[in-house]
Amino acid sequence: MNCQISRPEAPVLIEMKDVHKQFGNGTVALRGMSLQIRKGEFVSFLGPSGCGKSTALKMVAGLLSVSSGSISVNGHPAGQGSDGNDIGYVFQEATLMPWATVFENVYLPLKLHGLRRSEARPRVEEALAMVGLANFANSYPRELSGGMKMRVSIARAMVTRPKLLLMDEPFAALDEMTRSKLNDEVLDLWRSHGLTVIFVTHSVFESVYLSSRVVVMAARPGRVVHDIALSDGHQRTAAHRMTPEYTENCRLVSNALEGTMDHVDINH
Ligand SMILES: Nc1ncnc2c1ncn2[C@@H]1O[C@H](COP(=O)(O)OP(=O)(O)OP(=O)(O)O)[C@@H](O)[C@H]1O
Cβ-contact 198, 45 below 8 angstroms: yes
* Torsion sign, CA atoms 55, 57, 58, 64: positive
Is 54 near ligand 1, meaning CB less than 6 Å away? yes
Q: Whose CA is nearest to atom 27 of ligand 1?
A: 49
Query: Which residues, listed in sequence order, are joined to residue 144 by a DSSP beta bridge?
Result: none
Among 194, 197, 185, which Cα is nearest to 131's?
A: 185
State how far the Cα of 268 lies from the Cα of 265, in Å rounded to an integer.
6
pLDDT per residue rounded down to tens, the chain (268 residues): 444 344 557 899 999 999 999 999 999 999 999 999 999 999 999 999 899 999 999 999 999 999 999 999 988 888 886 665 689 999 988 899 999 999 999 999 999 989 999 999 999 999 999 889 999 999 999 999 999 999 999 999 999 999 999 999 999 888 888 888 889 999 999 999 899 999 999 999 999 999 999 999 999 889 999 999 987 766 777 788 888 888 999 999 999 988 877 655 544 4
Q: ∠ at Cα 209 (225, 155), nearest 5°?
A: 105
- What is the C-alpha R_g of the chain? 18
Q: Which part of the chain is CATH 3.40.50.300?
A: 1-86+163-263
Q: Does domain 1-86+163-263 have CATH number 3.40.50.2300?
A: no
Task: Identify the helix (H) or strand (E) that includes residue 108.
Answer: helix 102-112
Q: What is the pTM of this model?
A: 0.91
CA of 56 to the centre of ligand 1 (A): 10
Max CA pair span of the chain: 58
Is 260 near ligand 1, meaning CB less than 6 Å away? no
SS3 218: strand
